[in-house]
Structure 1
Amino acid sequence: MGRQRTPTLVTGGDVIIEVSPLILLATIAIAGLGPAITALTDAWQGAAGIRSLAAGAAHSSAGWLSWLAIAGILRPDIDPLLVLPLTALGGVAAVLAATPARLLGRGARSTLAYAALWSALVFVPVAVALFSAKGFLAAELATVDLAGALPVLVAGGCGGLAVLVLDGRRVERSRGSNPGWVLLGLVAVVWALWVLWLVGMELAIDEITPLIVANTLMTPVASVAAWLVVQRIQHAKTTPSAAVGGLLCGLAAIAPGSGNLSAVGALLTGIVAGALCSLVGYWAARRTGNFIWLVVTILLGGAGLGVGLIGAFATRTGIVFTGQPEALLSQFASVLIVTAYAGAVSLACWFVVSRVARRPAASALAGS
């Protein structure tokens, strides 16, 4: 992508970080997404407060530290302008991976340890594979993913899925409630920060910027509409919480391809993601009695479909325009590879963390 920039250079050893006003703004916005998403998830459940923001900040910090430590050792061949945004994205990914464990009531020590270990073993390798010039996803599959949806949303969804598979139990929504304006305000904050995230990952204000903004505003609306239609057909009702789910699904779906899709392609992506994720999410939630499956479905399903459908709807390169399946196969192959790797390693991470966390309690009971 061509861009003009006049950044400040910050050097530390062999590491070069380029900072421009846009990158600084995007980094701040991305850093704010972790606490904002945590608060929104808790409000969606029925109870949000200062503790939500504190938990989001703590889990974000675990992701930041893991990225800085390991990326500093690996020194991957990454555009210097992406170093700060990727650090902030590490925090968002850690929040998403740890959210199901936190909603299940697991202790702060367990969720923080999981966030740190998961970030080191899942987020960092996938981010390097996508954003490094020599990374497997970038070099071998030529994966298109503007925002880093694969390491953040798809891998983060796998992190949450691992917790549910190994340690899930029936969890009802909280009976607490927040005023409607709280939920609406949090939705607006997350949406605005999401726009800044995607604009910043373009690394410059250019002719693509209006398209990114327009797609990030339109796609969630299409996803909400599809989600609510499915809910109406299945349950004969529409609810505000379903609208929030559809909106988050649309945001996840448009993140990887916001700069590559036309308005029609973005709308179709939102409709497909909203419809399929609502079908799968409600089915899983009913079957398990655990609403947290909706959160995992939105991340893994919404973002996975968003990455894959770039190969279908991307302007000039998608199968709809070329008639050739290579781009579609490459995009979905990327999703499958990341899902397989992130799923397997996430299972191992939560297995270790959950067993270690239980040992003190088991020892105390044995001694009493």
Structure 2
Amino acid sequence: MEYPLTGVPDTGDTAWILASSALVLLMTPGLAFFYGGMVRSKNVLNMIMMSVSAMGLVGVLWSLYGYSVAFGDNTFGLIGDPTQFFGLRGLIGGNAEAATDTAAATNIPLAGTIPAIVFVGFQLMFAIITLALISGAVADRMKFGSWLLFSGLWVTIVYFPVAHWVFDFDVEDAAGNVVHHGGWIANKLAAIDFAGGTAVHINAGAAGLALVLVLGKRKGWPKTPFRPHNLPFVMLGAGLLWFGWFGFNAGSALTSGGLAGSTFVVTAIATGAAMLAWLLVERLRDGHATSLGAASGIVAGLVAITPSCSSVNVLGALLIGVVAGALCALAVGLKFKFGFDDSLDVVGVHLVGGIVGTVLIGFVAAPETGAGVAGLFYGGGFDQLWRQVVGALVVLAFSFVVTLIIAYIVKFTIGLRTSEEAESVGLDESEHAETAYDFAALGSTARSAVKEA
């Protein structure tokens, strides 16, 4: 039997995944506001553009070969067949056998109970947000053209193969015959990553670390304070991310049933716990809890519960949230200790939070949950724990090393970094010939407006 299998999709499941896809796409503008508010006013448009450009660039590459590399038949044990669904061949217009008055079309390519083309769109949104996450590490100093070139190379060489390893499961026909062979982390290692702790967050965090090591520090860092210019933007972005994340996690059930409901609830619980833990650390360490800390804690909790939302109960979600919130609040200071300028804490939140959420599955996975796996605390021993550790370390190492290579290729061809003058002026003006805010008062001259500002 050929792959993908065909049949009649479940309309309820299809509607939920279409809605989830839209929710996940909304996360990228949410991230743009979250990151945009954290930079200085002269760089906010550039920061937003780095996220928005990912929506266009990844969409094109995904439709041409990205989906095929990620979800085509396993080739060389590492990637999907890039020619199998090139240009989404066989998926667009897959219901060409039109329904009649007496019978529904039955030749629609399926991914589980939904049309395969809906799954294509859902996974596209994951690819977009993963790339956009990296941009926060390099804020204020990377040329926009270099970002686009890096982005195209990175998603092709790093994200698409890792997505294949983590998200592409073997498929059997009704007779139990394997008609599609997927990635090794999902099927051979059997590490649990329900919605992207490794493929999205560890992957992006490791890439961000590698990229900033090649790019170098911002002018004046760490002595110059780089304060967020618009904290309401940050809070708005965090709220949009939390809202969209329900599509990210609950949508990954690929059904509208009980599993989606469970992942939805534990996502909310862990995120709330992480926010409170981050604020507590701030209060004990600095004497006050901040809105920036609340927003960062929200993201840390969302990151950590992403891989584990199908495998933990309420107690597990609370533990993951508290640990992630506290550790990420402490980890964001590591850049000052080790001297790497991770502008908006991609390493401290996404890499550390992704590792926390992925590894803790080995401890708190509860057998009554959708994953049906028992962690160490539930009598399962170390079996799942070592699988989680290996999965996390392999993705971290692969992403870090390959991103270093890509970054050096871009650096020694078109260059990575803006000039010192452009950095001082601001990337909004030097890269885009725009400014986010017009400070000129109505009816005043430009010179008087500068004095007023």
TM-score (structure 2 length as normaliser): 0.70
The counterpart of 1:61, out of the listed 34, 44, 56, is: 56
Question: Which residue pairs with 2:146 in the alignment?
Answer: 110
1:345 aligned partner, one-letter code: V
| Number of matched pairs | 347
- The answer to whether the Cα contact below 8 Å between 1:70 and 1:124 also exists between their aligned partners in 2 is no
1:301 aligns with 2:349: no
Kindly report which structure 2 residues correspond to 1:176-215, keeping only aligned pairs within 5 A, or say none.
Answer: 177-178=229-230, 180=232, 182-215=233-266
Structure 1 residue 97: Cα displacement: 2.3
1:106 aligned partner, one-letter code: M
C-alpha separation between the residues in 1 aligned to 2:348 and 2:231?
26
The counterpart of 1:325, out of the listed 382, 407, 423, is: 382
Question: Which residue pairs with 2:440 in the alignment?
Answer: none
**Secondary structure of the equivalent of 2:161?**
helix
CA deviations on 1:254-282 (whole Å, 9 max, x unpaired) are 11111221011001001111222222212
C-alpha separation between the residues in 1 aligned to 2:251 and 2:395?
24
Which structure has the highest helix share of the two?
Answer: 1
Structure 1 residue 73: Cα displacement: 5.0
Structure 1 residue 122: Cα displacement: 0.7
C-alpha separation between the residues in 2 aligned to 1:175 and 1:233?
21
CA deviations on 1:151-189 (whole Å, 9 max, x unpaired) are 211111111111122223144554563263x43332221
Q: Please, which runs of 5 or more residues in structure 1 have no aligned partner?
A: 9-18, 363-368
- The answer to whether the Cα contact below 8 Å between 1:219 and 1:251 also exists between their aligned partners in 2 is yes
Question: Which residue pairs with 1:97 in the alignment?
Answer: 134
C-alpha separation between the residues in 2 aligned to 1:72 and 1:255?
21
C-alpha separation between the residues in 2 aligned to 1:155 and 1:90?
11
Q: Which moved more, 1:258-267 or 1:207-216?
A: 207-216
Question: Which residue pairs with 1:123 in the alignment?
Answer: 159
The counterpart of 1:76, out of the listed 72, 75, 95, is: 72
- The answer to whether the Cα contact below 8 Å between 2:35 and 2:234 also exists between their aligned partners in 1 is no
Structure 1 residue 208: Cα displacement: 2.1
C-alpha separation between the residues in 2 aligned to 1:109 and 1:337?
30
Structure 1 residue 361: Cα displacement: 9.3
Structure 1 residue 252: Cα displacement: 0.2
Question: Which residue pairs with 1:44 in the alignment?
Answer: 38
Structure 1 residue 93: Cα displacement: 1.1
Question: Which residue pairs with 1:12 in the alignment?
Answer: none
1:146 aligns with 2:142: no
Q: 1:7 to 1:256 in 2, by over 3 A?
A: same
1:6 aligned partner, one-letter code: P
Q: What's the Cα RMSD here?
A: 2.7
2:186 aligned partner, one-letter code: A
Question: Which residue pairs with 2:431 in the alignment?
Answer: none
The structure number with the bigger radius of gyration is 2
C-alpha separation between the residues in 2 aligned to 1:176 and 1:93?
23
Q: Which moved more, 1:352-361 or 1:90-99?
A: 352-361
1:352 aligned partner, one-letter code: I
- The answer to whether the Cα contact below 8 Å between 1:38 and 1:99 also exists between their aligned partners in 2 is no
Q: 1:97 to 1:319 in 2, by over 3 A?
A: same
Kindly report which structure 2 residues correspond to 1:1-368, keeping only aligned pairs within 5 A, or say none.
Answer: 6-7=9-10, 20-45=14-39, 47=41, 52-71=47-66, 73-74=68-69, 76-77=72-73, 79=111, 80=116, 82-101=119-138, 103-132=139-168, 133=170, 134-170=182-218, 171=221, 174-175=226-227, 177-178=229-230, 180=232, 182-285=233-336, 288=339, 290=341, 292=343, 294-316=345-367, 317-358=374-415
Structure 1 residue 286: Cα displacement: 5.5
C-alpha separation between the residues in 1 aligned to 2:336 and 2:238?
22
Identity of aligned residues (%): 24
- The answer to whether the Cα contact below 8 Å between 1:285 and 1:291 also exists between their aligned partners in 2 is no
TM-score (structure 1 length as normaliser): 0.86
2:9 aligned partner, one-letter code: T
C-alpha separation between the residues in 2 aligned to 1:257 and 1:175?
33
| More RCO (CA 8 Å, sep 6+) | 2
- The answer to whether the Cα contact below 8 Å between 1:35 and 1:56 also exists between their aligned partners in 2 is yes
Question: Which residue pairs with 1:366 in the alignment?
Answer: none
Structure 1 residue 234: Cα displacement: 2.9
C-alpha separation between the residues in 2 aligned to 1:6 and 1:23?
12
Structure 1 residue 290: Cα displacement: 3.8
Structure 1 residue 45: Cα displacement: 3.4
Q: Please, which runs of 5 or more residues in structure 2 have no aligned partner?
A: 1-6, 74-79, 81-110, 171-181, 368-373, 420-453
